[in-house]
Amino acid sequence: MPELRGRGRISIRRDENGVPHIEADHEADLYKGLGYCHAMDRGMQLLLTRILGRGQACEMLSDNDEMLAIDVFFRRFNATGGIAAQESRLPDDVRALCLSYCEGVNMRLAEKIPFEMRLLKYRPDPWTFGDCILLSRLAGFIGLAQSQGEIERFIVEMILNGVDRPRLEEMFPGKLEGLDLELIRKTRLHDRLIPEAILWQSPIPRMMASNNWVVAGSRTASGKPILANDPHLEVNRLPNVWYEAALKTRGRFVMGATMPGLPNVLFGRSNDLAWGVTYTFMDALDSWVEHCKDGAFRRVDSSAEKEQWIKFHVRRETIRRKKHPPVERVFYENQHGTLDGDFGADDRGAESFRLATRWSSADSGADSVAHMFRMAHAKTVEEGMRLIGKLELSFNWGLADRNGSIGYQMSGKMPKRREGVSGLIPLPGWDARNDWQGFVAPEELPRALNPKEGFLVTANNDLNHLGTAKPINNPMGSYRADRIAKLLSEKPRLTAEDCFAIQYDLYSPQAERYMKFLRPMLADTPPGRILRDWDGRYDASSVGATVFENFFGALFRKVFGEFGFGTQVSAHLLSSTALFADFYNSFENVLLSERSAWFAGKSRDTLYREALDEALRMPARPWGKSRKITLANLFFGGKLPRFLGFDRGPITLIGGRATVSQGQVFRNGGRATTFAPSIRFVADLATEICRTNLCGGPSDRRFSKWYVSDLKNWMTGKYKTLRP
């Protein structure tokens, strides 16, 4: 590894696992070294992400209709907007660290550009702080847009297709305050919130499901707290989203997971403090129904009983293309965000109702970067909570310190809405009472410090009870969180090895919940005995898991297909979108009901028996046989012969939707995608080490020995040791 110069000497070495260790006398030089390593090991990932985020895919990558749709989406999102204002918010010390990071990236890119970029004849412009903000926004938005935004758009589509209020209330109980069905039915929908091509063929990480937990020293064998974290993201991609690194200066260290293009350790540990992260499902994205005419929107002053028509702000974007003339797209914006669709010739003089959508962190980024830098110096859980609670992006943070404290803090800009409104459904945009009234303070968000149970768990579940504000409208089910809590409570003195076992746990409390109804229905036949004797585990050899999933799919198609959306739509939702994977909890509000408007007059027992009969007639093979996935190279994925080694696999993905080690496989836009633990991380604060494994390796260079150097560990449950 090279030795660099900054304000002083910068030493970079790899450990036996290929993880870079960066040491310097000056803190700024640490981040210069990190930038250099990101560009050296993950330069292709870093540059591809920036190209897509800027909406330059047609100009820089490939000029076709799919790439044009991607460019239009990112131009609509406007992730580069307001960057200068964000940079001006940086304190001087943080600005120096950011600039040093960018210097490191540019130093390496000046030495060598990834050969994939040379194939494209792409000469990258210098990496800037604005690019760091761009990547920060992408990481926060893509996760949110694929969850909250998708379910809100899905509710609108259900209404437009005739789903009535009683059935909606069953799926989203207590969340439909202010719903005007007639107004929604007048609303014109244009494109999907995110084109399918964007979701599954980009280097932008999808911040979806995760587990983390912290255990107090009173419940550990070492007497010090333990933190465990395993973010669940797409794993069928090379390189992995995460890049591990260890930074050290003057006796202080920080190490853990970074993301190429961002200058921070996003989760990991220092001498004194460890922190881990999961996604919150905070509702930080809202839509409004705008009454539109001739490029203007209507606003009503209820107190003065008068209305006015206000012109939208018009933003024009030119998309350059390699093989075709440039394309101009026009976006209309107001205080409620960006309007869905465009005003064409047919709209002149005509009135219409359209959705405008706003994300609370669209104009943010600088504060998140600054507070993450300061986490490296925080020494207590309380200090860490104060810092991390101010991040603009929405995450659940578990924290533990060497003094023995543990804590939980939610971050993110939660909008203040009018009383009684959840934010789940679009409200009339012309009524100022429906506007956001600022943002909730971090102290009002869910948080906890040193609970009497001696541990804290988050797994994308409902944590509203821990705050005065209620930011979560549609959490994932509590199955994983409940299972982790049960396993933690069963052992009085937990070790890091116990946490390893929990991270690989394959038992499904969700399946057991259904099995209580199914066991009395099972006939004494070979397939019936397989399901009756199933242990509830989703391991590769389990035939019972396959039989149960056959039942679950049949039940879903029956309830939401025959009696709901239609068979084609229900099959698509189940197998080819993230909606069910993300929000099975909302669908289960119906499936587990004793009686439901969705059941078309049938009883739950009758529906379960019908679905079970169908499932037991279906072929059943070991679970792992249907869980084969290929890890595809971000640039060449599927385009080169397999023997060249850019793509790896197939490998078997274990687990299910409700197991601690979540393993979901489905198709979207014609491509396979996954949710699974992308990295596993455990830190016992009695030591100065971390234990980790990664689905991949440090490098995105196919011919590097570090391309997939950690993959076998990840598959077999072996953890490497990361030392400062």
pLDDT category of residue 573 using cuts at 50, 70 and 90: confident
pLDDT digits 0-9 by tens, 357-368: 999 999 888 999
Q: Using CA atoms, how far apart are residues 71 and 47, in angstroms rounded to an integer?
A: 15
pLDDT category of residue 193 using cuts at 50, 70 and 90: very low
Beta bridge mates, 690? 722
pLDDT over threshold 90, residue 19: yes
Tokens 């768990």 label which residue?
A: 457
CB 477 within 8 A of CB 510: yes
For 425-456, letters b (16+ CB in 10 Å) and e give bbbbbbeeebbbeebbebebbbbbeeeeebbb
List Cβ neighbours of 519 (8 Å cut-off, separation of 6 or more).
532
pLDDT over threshold 80, residue 198: no
pLDDT at res. 143: 59
DSSP letter, residue 439: B
For 365-389, letters b (16+ CB in 10 Å) and e give bbbbbbbbbbbbebebbbbbbbbbb
Number of H helices, E strands in the chain: 22, 30
Of 273-277, 462-466, 567-571, 657-661, the one with minimum mean pLDDT is: 567-571
pLDDT over threshold 60, residue 267: yes
pLDDT at res. 110: 96
By the 10 Å C-beta count (0-12 exposed, 13-18 middle, 19+ buried), 217 is classed as buried
pLDDT at res. 154: 86
Q: Where are the beta strands (DSSP E) in 302-419?
A: 306-311, 313-319, 327-334, 337-339, 351-359, 395-401, 406-410
Residues 71-98: what's their mean pLDDT?
91
- Angle, CA 616 vertex, CA 613 and CA 618 arms, to 5°: 115
Residues 542-546: what's their mean pLDDT?
97
CB 587 within 8 A of CB 570: no
Q: Using CA atoms, how far apart are residues 207 and 193, in angstroms rounded to an integer?
A: 17
For residues 255, 257, 262, 265, the Cα torsion angle rounded to the nearest 10 degrees is -30
The three-class DSSP label of residue 722 is strand
Q: Using CA atoms, how far apart are residues 331 and 320, in angstroms rounded to an integer?
A: 17
pLDDT category of residue 324 using cuts at 50, 70 and 90: very high
pLDDT category of residue 395 using cuts at 50, 70 and 90: very high
- Integer angstrom CA distances of residue 130 from 257, 344, 375, 392: 21, 34, 21, 16
pLDDT digits 0-9 by tens, 30-84: 999 999 999 999 999 999 999 999 999 999 999 998 899 889 989 998 989 998 8
Q: Using CA atoms, how far apart are residues 680 and 256, in angstroms rounded to an integer?
A: 11
pLDDT digits 0-9 by tens, 479-521: 999 999 999 999 999 999 999 999 999 999 999 999 999 999 9
Kindly give the pairing relationship between strand 395-401 and strand 273-279: antiparallel
By the 10 Å C-beta count (0-12 exposed, 13-18 middle, 19+ buried), 617 is classed as exposed
pLDDT, averaged across the chain: 92
- Please state the pTM of the whole predicted model: 0.94
pLDDT at res. 346: 62
- Helix, strand, coil in percent for the chain, rounding step 5: 40, 25, 40
pLDDT over threshold 50, residue 200: no
Token pair recorded at residue 157 = 């589509």
List Cβ neighbours of 97 (8 Å cut-off, separation of 6 or more).
27, 28, 31, 263, 373
pLDDT at res. 195: 47
Q: Which of 246, 63, 54 is nearest to 138 (CA)?
A: 54
pLDDT category of residue 304 using cuts at 50, 70 and 90: low
What are the backbone dihedrals phi and psi of residue 482, each rounded to the nearest 5 degrees, phi first?
-65, -40
Of 85-99, 399-413, 496-510, 698-712, the one with minimum mean pLDDT is: 85-99
Please give the CATH number for the structural domain made up of 509-625: 1.10.1400.10
CB 439 within 8 A of CB 360: yes
pLDDT at res. 702: 96
pLDDT over threshold 70, residue 194: no
Token pair recorded at residue 549 = 């999933």
pLDDT over threshold 70, residue 125: yes
**pLDDT over 90, % of the chain:** 79
Helix boundaries (H) for 404-494:
479-489
Token pair recorded at residue 657 = 């939707």
Q: Using CA atoms, how far apart are residues 694 and 711, in angstroms rounded to an integer?
A: 6
pLDDT digits 0-9 by tens, 209-237: 799 999 999 999 999 999 999 999 889 99
The three-class DSSP label of residue 276 is strand
Q: Using CA atoms, how far apart are residues 633 and 45, in angstroms rounded to an integer?
A: 10
pLDDT at res. 196: 47
CB 265 within 8 A of CB 382: no
CB 249 within 8 A of CB 30: yes
Token pair recorded at residue 567 = 């068979």
pLDDT category of residue 432 using cuts at 50, 70 and 90: very high
pLDDT at res. 161: 85
Segments making up each domain of the chain, as ranges:
509-625
pLDDT over threshold 90, residue 3: no
pLDDT over threshold 60, residue 593: yes
Kindly give the pairing relationship between strand 306-311 and strand 447-449: unpaired
List Cβ neighbours of 305 (8 Å cut-off, separation of 6 or more).
none
pLDDT over threshold 60, residue 566: yes
pLDDT at res. 293: 93
